[in-house]
Amino acid sequence: MIKTVPTKPFEGQKPGTSGLRKKVSVFQQAYYAENFIQSIFDGLEGFKGKTLVIGGDGRYFNREVIQTTIRMAAANGFGRVLTAKGGLLSTPAASHLIRKSKAFGGIILSASHNPGGPDGDFGIKYNAGNGGPAPEKMTEQFFANTKKISSYKISDGADCNLDKLGTSKIEGMTIEVVDPVSDYQKLMETLFDFDAIKTLFKSGFRVRFDAMHAITGPYGHAILEGALGAPKGSVVNGTPLPDFGGHHPDPNLVHAKELYDLMMSASGPDFGAASDGDGDRNLIIGKNQFVTPSDSLALLAANAHLAPGYAKGLAGVARSMPTSCAVDRVAAKLGIKCFETPTGWKFFGNLLDAGMITLCGEESAGTGSNHVREKDGLWAVLLWLNILAKRQQSVVEIVREHWASYGRNYYSRHDYEEVDAEAANKMMVFLRDKLPNLKGEKAGALAVSAADDFAYHDIVDGSNTANQGIRIVFEDGSRVIYRLSGTGTAGATLRVYVEKYESKNLGLETQAALSDLIGFARGIAGIAERTGRMEPTVIT
């Protein structure tokens, strides 16, 4: 039976960069998830009888909200729900399933790389029919709906058996539980030279893929160890756990330190990689060579033609504004366009849909292509393996050759997490006011040549997005950028991005190469005085 349940709005159900993200305890309040899901459905038009994809990264509370979403989809008139065994779908696999099944859209339950478990985070995100995150216009509508919601619709039917593949019905709506991996694997087989990678593994090349007890475990086991024949044990932490084993499923040098240390040791494998909670991020480390996400994007752009899916070349590339300009140099050499977008994957969607770009990426360990409308962790790993198999060189050789021909963009991000939100906002206002007076200011010998608050004009849909980060550019192209995170769940997170280009000094230590700019960034913003923090909490 379909029930209409009266409810009242909650404060602050505002979707950020990647959906609504809050502590699990917030989502556990009665009607909290229901309100947001109904506000999404109320913001959509024309979905009656159509398909909705539902999946999540397996974090704590995943199953409960999947059942609720299925019941609400049935009550609101969807014709079919597609979900995967255990309700598990990586974000890129969900994006693919939406596209492949020509679904109306999808609901993805994840808080990405944020910790899980009862004390961790949870999240709900809507993806549109192109498989990508809802554009801003839509998320604003959802938010507006959360403020005036008075009831939601739900079926009181029985729970769906998520552990069995097959089809069932609720209120006349069909529910199909599919295998989470198989469609995604087929897509990867069309893009990459699986035979070449198999031969690479047969030759003794060793890989370690750390799934961080998150969603990519089953994908890694099936594709790397199964289809590609990497030795069993190449995939570690491969069983998804509701609390990610108590770890922070963020594939960076802090949270994947064990992998990093192994890769820097004599006994390490040839190639190390990791992915995050929902499988859209990637960490790439060669033997004795960490590859920054910004460099990885540039390297993948320069070598993508070695994979069958990109053999015809790239239409164009894009990077988020704070991502280093390394890929710009590759684009210039290839004679293709490089677009600069605000932070967040949704801005790439229009460019991908319009066929203007093929590859895109962010400094925050996200890389992807036109195969889906999300960033894709395992895809990046496979593209790297395809390139390594074809070039028959090590990661370090490939990286060094790249720097030798393009120069090196030294790059680092300094995060100040959980700072006082008011102080952080005040600092951004202060910096904004200071913009007109920054020209000529010096960081060491370098002078500021331009400063602005990044605004983006989307040439595909004509929309404008303002206030996307304070950007200070120096005469040699070096940059200092300040942004407040849109994905944190406690206080504010200040991100400071620092970049310096060197054409000749290719072997410096990164923080040392950036030290003048780092000092400048801290000084002019008064970070210590304003936030009480002498040092960032995380440096990547």
Are 230 and 294 a contacting pair, CB within 8 Å?
A: no
Over the Cα atoms of the chain, what is R_g? 23
Distances (CA, A) of 21 to 63, 246, 307, 453, 471: 17, 19, 36, 26, 27
The entry of Zn ion, ligand G1P, none that residue 117 binds, CB within 5 to 8 Å by partner kind: none
Report d(CA 335, CA 301) in Å as an integer. 12
Strand blocks (E) in 363-407: 366-369
Closest by alpha carbon to 317, among 348, 286, 276? 348
Strand blocks (E) in 13-165: 20-23, 51-56, 80-88, 105-109, 121-128, 151-155
Residue 376 touches Zn ion, criterion: CB under 5 A: no
Q: Which of residues 238-277 bind Zn ion (CB under 5 A)?
A: 276
Between 112 and 234, name the residue whose CB sits nearer to Zn ion: 112
Residue 57 touches Zn ion, criterion: CB under 5 A: no
Query: Is the torsion defined by CA of 371, 375, 380, 382 positive or negative?
Result: negative
Are 512 and 378 a contacting pair, CB within 8 Å?
A: no
Q: What is the DSSP-derived secondary structure letter of residue 487? A: S
Binding mask 112-151 for ligand G1P (x = CB under 6 A): x---------------------------------------
Task: Say which residue the tokens 């002019």 belong to.
Answer: 524
Looking at the DSSP bridge assignments, the partners of residue 471 are: 452, 481
**Is residue 377 left, alpha or beta, with left meaning phi > 0 and alpha meaning psi from -120 to 50?**
alpha
Between 268 and 277, name the residue whose CB sits nearer to ligand G1P: 277
Residue 540 touches ligand G1P, criterion: CB under 6 A: no
The entry of Zn ion, ligand G1P, none that residue 487 binds, CB within 5 to 8 Å by partner kind: ligand G1P
The entry of ligand G1P, Zn ion, none that residue 17 binds, CB within 5 to 8 Å by partner kind: ligand G1P
- Choose which of 121, 193, 210, 280 interacts with Zn ion (CB under 5 A): 280
Residue 95 touches ligand G1P, criterion: CB under 6 A: no
Between 51 and 294, name the residue whose CB sits nearer to ligand G1P: 294
The entry of Zn ion, ligand G1P, none that residue 489 binds, CB within 5 to 8 Å by partner kind: none
Q: Which residue stretch of 71-79, 159-167, 280-288, 474-482 sits at the interface with Zn ion (rule: CB under 5 A)?
A: 280-288
Residue 278 touches Zn ion, criterion: CB under 5 A: yes
DSSP SS3 for 146 = helix
The entry of ligand G1P, Zn ion, none that residue 540 binds, CB within 5 to 8 Å by partner kind: none
Residue 345 touches ligand G1P, criterion: CB under 6 A: yes
Closest by alpha carbon to 110, among 41, 19, 175? 19
Between 42 and 278, name the residue whose CB sits nearer to ligand G1P: 278
Report d(CA 289, CA 397) in Å as an integer. 9
110 catalytic residue (yes or no): no
Residue 289 touches ligand G1P, criterion: CB under 6 A: no
Residue 278 touches ligand G1P, criterion: CB under 6 A: no
Between 237 and 468, name the residue whose CB sits nearer to ligand G1P: 468
The entry of ligand G1P, Zn ion, none that residue 276 binds, CB within 5 to 8 Å by partner kind: Zn ion
Residue 42 touches Zn ion, criterion: CB under 5 A: no
Are 277 and 59 a contacting pair, CB within 8 Å?
A: yes
Residue 362 touches ligand G1P, criterion: CB under 6 A: yes
Residue 63 touches ligand G1P, criterion: CB under 6 A: no
Closest-approach residue to Zn ion (CB): 112
Could you tell me whether strands 408-419 and 492-502 are parallel, antiparallel, or unpaired per DSSP bridges?
Answer: antiparallel
Residue 18 touches ligand G1P, criterion: CB under 6 A: yes
Catalytic residue among 39, 112, 296, 364: 112
DSSP SS3 for 226 = helix
Q: Which residue stretch of 110-118, 338-346, 401-409, 418-426 sits at the interface with Zn ion (rule: CB under 5 A)?
A: 110-118
Report d(CA 276, CA 501) in Å as an integer. 29
Q: Which of residues 458-517 bind ligand G1P (CB under 6 A)?
A: 485-487, 495
Residue 416 touches ligand G1P, criterion: CB under 6 A: no
Least separation in angstroms between CB 55 and ligand G1P: 17
Question: At residue 401, what are phi and psi to the nearest 5 degrees?
Answer: -60, -40
Residue 367 touches ligand G1P, criterion: CB under 6 A: no
Are 472 and 481 a contacting pair, CB within 8 Å?
A: yes
Could you tell me whether strands 316-320 and 337-341 are parallel, antiparallel, or unpaired per DSSP bridges?
Answer: parallel
Residue 252 touches ligand G1P, criterion: CB under 6 A: no
Binding mask 325-344 for ligand G1P (x = CB under 6 A): ------------------xx
Residue 237 touches ligand G1P, criterion: CB under 6 A: no
Between 34 and 276, name the residue whose CB sits nearer to ligand G1P: 276
Q: Which helix (H) or strand (E) holds 534?
A: none
Structure tokens belonging to residue 457: 């004009």
**Burial of 512 from C-beta contacts in 10 A (0-12 / 13-18 / 19+):** exposed
Residues involved in catalysis: 112
Q: Which residues would be at the binding site for ligand G1P (CB under 6 A)?
A: 17-18, 112, 320, 343-345, 362, 364, 366, 485-487, 495
Q: Which residues would be at the binding site for Zn ion (CB under 5 A)?
A: 112, 276, 278, 280-281
